[in-house]
């Protein structure tokens, strides 16, 4: 029995060391970015701030793309520049978080609460954005690009929804292939063909939707008073700014 005691002591010390190492790892990770929270979509592993680059920055940019400020847009390039910092601040302010422009545990936890396992924001889905076909093919860009463009636009709508008081937003049309676009008489260069175009109907009013969209990164806003848009507000992400909703003062 005595001969076994050193072995048990060694096993005990080894087990304790493993436990301490695991605790230290969790503490260290939490201190540097709050990644102890594992998310089904994406988990950040470090705190993010100005000057940093990487895929984790790009993932953050996607989710705060709806907070660029009036008439502005965020470039989703994986570089944490002034525009990204400002968007993070606006996001933090919207959710009552310390608004320091640094993405840490509280910011990440709020983002985790807002995203589903497929990375779409909780209030929108790929299924409602694409009623044209199941594989996102046949548009003006590749299927993967159309799907990605839709994802970014969904996050912009999520920000817009929050600003409007967390009211539901009703999508009548999202992605379209050329055949789907032709079938409904869509414009030849419609943003629907790129995946980022979306038509909203119902409440809030069409003018309220068009007016609010100016703050959430949409460069293409067409609404009441623009030809064939008196029954919906269209939002998209064209290369240049194109806003026209004369009835709404836009």
**Is 37 a residue of the active site?**
no
* φ, ψ dihedrals at 248, nearest 5°: -100, 5
As separate numbers, helices (DSSP H) first and strands (DSSP E) second, the chain gives 8, 5
Compute φ and ψ for 236, nearest 5 degrees: -160, -175
Which entry of 37, 192, 216, 229 is annotated as an active-site residue?
Answer: 229
Q: Measured at the alpha carbon of residue 102, what is the angle toward residues 156 and 235, in degrees to the nearest 5?
A: 10
Please state the φ and ψ torsions of residue 156, each to the nearest 5 degrees. -65, -40
* 8 A C-beta contact, residue 74 and residue 68: yes
Q: Which two tokens stand for residue 72?
A: 């502005």
Identify each DSSP E strand in the chain by its residue range. 170-173, 198-201, 220-222, 233-236, 242-244
End-to-end alpha-carbon separation of the chain, Å? Answer: 88
**Would you call the peptide bond into 120 cis, given omega within 30 degrees of 0 as the criterion?**
no
CA distance linking residue 110 with residue 99, whole number of Å: 13
d(CA 189, CA 159): 26
| Angular region, 39: left φ>0, alpha ψ -120 to 50, beta rest | beta
Point out the residues that are catalytic: 229
């Amino acid at each position: 029995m005595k001969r076994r005691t050193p072995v048990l002591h060694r096993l005990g010390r080894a087990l304790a060391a493993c436990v301490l190492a695991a605790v230290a790892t969790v503490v260290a990770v939490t201190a540097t970015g709050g990644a102890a929270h594992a998310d089904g979509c994406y988990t950040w592993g470090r705190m993010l701030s100005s000057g940093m680059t990487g895929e984790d920055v790009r993932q953050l940019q996607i989710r705060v793309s709806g907070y660029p400020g009036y008439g502005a847009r965020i470039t989703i390039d994986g570089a944490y520049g002034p525009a990204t910092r400002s968007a993070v601040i606006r996001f933090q302010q919207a959710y009552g978080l310390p608004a320091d422009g640094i993405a840490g545990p509280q910011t990440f936890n709020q983002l985790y609460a807002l995203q589903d396992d497929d990375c779409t924001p909780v209030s929108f889905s790929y299924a409602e954005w694409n009623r044209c076909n199941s594989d996102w093919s046949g548009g003006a860009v590749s299927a993967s690009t159309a799907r990605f463009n839709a994802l970014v636009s969904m996050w912009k709508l999520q920000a817009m929804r929050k600003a409007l008081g967390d009211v539901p937003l009703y999508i009548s049309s999202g992605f379209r292939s050329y055949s789907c676009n032709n079938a409904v008489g869509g414009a030849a260069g419609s943003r629907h063909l790129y995946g980022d175009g979306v038509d909203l109907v119902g409440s809030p009013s069409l003018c309220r939707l068009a007016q609010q969209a100016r703050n959430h990164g949409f460069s293409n806003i067409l609404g009441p008073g623009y030809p064939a848009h008196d029954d919906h507000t269209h939002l998209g992400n064209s290369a240049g700014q194109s806003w026209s909703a004369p009835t709404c003062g836009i």
